[in-house]
Chains A and B, each alone.
Chain A
Amino acid sequence: MSIAISATERRDILQRHAAAIRGSTRTRFFTIATVVFILGLFLYGLTTLETTLWRVLAGFGNLGSFVVLMLPPDPGSWAKALIFVQALFETIAIAFLGTVLAAILALPLGFIAARNVVANRIVHFLARRSLDTIRGVDALIWALIWINVVGLGPFAGMLAIMTADFGAFGKLYSEAIEAADRKAVEGVASVGGGKSHEIRFGLLPQVLPVIASQVLYFIESNTRSSTIIGIVGAGGIGLYLAETIRTLEWQQTSFLILLILVAVSAIDFLSSKLRFAIIGKRAV
C-alpha cells in the first residue's frame, strides 16, 4: 500500500490548513517587520560607525600578522616572567579582597533594602535607587575616582572593585531576603524573640547559603574584571597588558593572556568545588 497523495489532494490540504502551514498574515507581517527593523538598524549602524570594507580587510590583515608575531608566547626573560606572575597575584588579591569586603559591607544595606525587614517605603526606595546608581557606574570609573583618593596602585583597584560590587551585592542580598520563607521568622517571633533574634535565627540561616554561592561567583567574575583595572593604573596585570600591547611586544602579550586564562580557569575550578562543598548537592 502506498501513501502517495495526488497534486489536487495536496493543494486541497494546503488550502484547508493554510493557517497552520503558512501562519496568519498578521504574524508573518509582524515577523518581517521585526527582521527588517533589526537589519535596517544594523546596516545604519555599520554605515555611521566608519566601517568601510577596505578598512575591515586591512585591519584583519594586520590582526593576522599580529597573531603570527604572538607565537610562541614568551615573557622575554625570567625576570620579566617573575614580574608578570607577581602582577597576576596582585590581580587575584584585588579580586578576592574587594569581593570579600563588599560582601561584608553590603550585608546591613541588604537588610535595609529588603521590604520584609524594613517596611518603610521611603527607606526602601532610597536604598534601592542608591544601590542602582552605584551599580550603574563601571569598576574602571570607580578606579579612576579612588586613584584620586589613595593614589595609583592596587589599593585603589581593590577599593574600586569593592565599591562596584557593593551595589550589586546589596541588590542581590535584598532580593534573597525578600524571597525568604516567613514561617521561620514568625516562629522565632512567636516564642518571644526580638527583631534581632528574628534576623539571626529566622532569616540568616535561609539566606546564608545563597549569599555564599553568590560571593564565590563574584570572586570568579571579578578576577576577570580586575585583570583590566590596571589599564587606568590601579594595579594588577592590566598595566603590563596595556603596556606590552602599546609597545607591540606581541609575544609578551600572548604570554600575559595565557597567564590570565590559566588563572581564571583555576579559580573557576576551585570555586565550583567550594560551592559544591558549601551548598551540597542542590547547588544554586
Chain B
Amino acid sequence: MTLAIDRHDPAITAHAESYRQAAASKRRQMLVGIAVFAICVWLSAVGAEVRLGTLIENIHRFPNYIWQTLPTLRLASLGSDLAEWYWGLARWLRLLWQTVLIAYVGTILGAAGAFLFCFAAAANLGRAPWLRFAVRRYLEFCRTVPEIVFALIFVIAFGLGPLPGVLAIAIHTMGALGKLFSEVVENIDLKPVDGITATGGSWWQVVRFAVMPQVLSNFASYALLRFEINVRGASIMGFVGAGGIGQDLIEAIRKFYYTDVSAIMLLIILAVMLIDLGTERLRHALLSLESRS
C-alpha cells in the first residue's frame, strides 16, 4: 500500500507555507541574536585590549612558567629533594592553619549575623514591609561588594593582620548566607506557625518553636558549604595584607621563587580538597538526620 499525498492540495500548501514562514522568522531571530552577540564580543575584545599577536608570541611562557614551578625531584635523592622543595613547611603549615581559622571564625560570625537578619528578610513571617526591604538591601550590599575590597578598607582601619580578613569574610558571608537562609525560611511548612500563633505565642516564640526546628539542619548545611568557599577566599586575603598564607604566596610569585609557588599552591589545594571531603560527609550526615526525623 502506498500513502499518496497530493502535493497540490490547497490545505497542504497552506500548511507548508505557514511552516516556511515560521522557520524563516525563527532563522531571522537567530541571525539577529548572533549579530548582537558578535557585536558584544567585538566590543569586549576592544575593551579588554585583546592582542592576539602578543598572546601567540608569548604563549610559550605559560607552560614554561608552570614547568619552572615544578621542583627537580630525582629518585636517588628523593628525600632531600622533597625537603628542599618544602623547606618552609613548618611556617607554611602554621599560616595554612591560620587561613583555616580565619575562614572558620569569619563563617561563624557571618552565619550568626545572617541568622539574626534572615527572619526579618523572609516574606512569610509577617514583619513590616519597610523592615524587610531595608534588611534585604543591606544583605545585597554585603554580598555584592567583593570581600577583598572590604579587606582593603579594614586593613587600613584595623591594621595589618588576620583581624581585617576575618571581618571581611564575616560581612560577605552574612550577605550571602542571609539570602540563602531567608529563602529556606520562606519555604517552610506554615502549619506549625499557625499552631503556635493559635495558642497565643509571640513572634519570638513562633520563630523559636515553629520555624527553627524546620530550618536548622538546612542552615547548618549552607554554613558548611560557605565555610568551604571561605577557605578559598581566606587563602588570598594575604594578597592585601589581611593574614593567612596568601602573604607568602604573593611574595613567592612576585619574587619569582618558582618552586615555593608550587609548594604553597599544592598545600592550599590539598587543604581545600580535604575540607571539601570533610564538609561533604558532614552535610550528608545532616541531611540524613533530617530525613529520619
Contact = CB atoms under 8 A, between A and B. Distances in A.
B187 interface: no
A66 B155 CA distance: 12
B40 interface: yes
B31 to A, nearest CB: 16
Given A42-B104, A245-B156, A157 B48 contact: yes
A136 interface: yes
A50 B58 CA distance: 44
Given A59-B164, A60-B157, A228-B149, 20 more contacts: A38-B108, A42-B108, A49-B163, A50-B161, A50-B163, A51-B163, A63-B157, A141-B236, A141-B249, A141-B265, A144-B253, A144-B254, A149-B58, A149-B65, A155-B54, A227-B149, A231-B148, A245-B156, A248-B156, A257-B149
Contacts of B157: 59-60, 62-63, 66
A264 B144 CA distance: 8
Nearest to A46: B105
Interface of B: 40-41, 43-51, 54-55, 58-59, 61-62, 65-66, 98, 101-102, 104-105, 108, 140-141, 144-146, 148-149, 152-154, 156-159, 161-164, 166, 232, 235-236, 239-240, 243, 249-250, 253-254, 265, 268-269, 272-273
A242 B269 contact: no
Contacts of B62: 145-146, 149
A126 interface: no
Interface in A184-243: 224-225, 227-228, 231-232, 235, 241-242
Contact of B48 (A136, A140, A144, A154): A154
Contacts of B239: 140, 231-232
B278 to A, nearest CB: 14
A155 B162 contact: no
Contacts, number: 167
Please report whether the interface of chain A is mostly helix, strand, loop or mixed according to DSSP.
helix
B101 A45 contact: yes
A150 interface: yes
Interface in A97-150: 97-98, 100, 132-133, 136-138, 140-141, 144-146, 148-150
Interface of A: 38, 41-42, 44-46, 48-51, 55-56, 58-60, 62-63, 66, 89-90, 92-94, 96-98, 100, 132-133, 136-138, 140-141, 144-146, 148-151, 153-155, 157-159, 224-225, 227-228, 231-232, 235, 241-242, 245-246, 248, 253, 257, 260-261, 264-265
A154 B49 contact: yes
Residue of B44, B108, B164 with most partner-chain A CB within 10 A: B44
Main secondary structure of the interface of B (DSSP, over half): helix
B36 to A, nearest CB: 11
Contacts of B159: 55, 59
Given A59-B158, A92-B47, A227-B146, A136 B253 contact: no
Contacts of A242: 152, 240
A4 B264 CA distance: 69
Contact of B54 (A44, A59, A151): A151
A2 B59 CA distance: 86
Residue picked from A45, A62, A66, A140, most chain B C-beta under 10 Å: A45
A137 B270 CA distance: 11
Given A149-B58, A261-B144, A55 B166 contact: no
Given A59-B159, A231-B240, A261 B141 contact: yes
A113 to B, nearest CB: 17
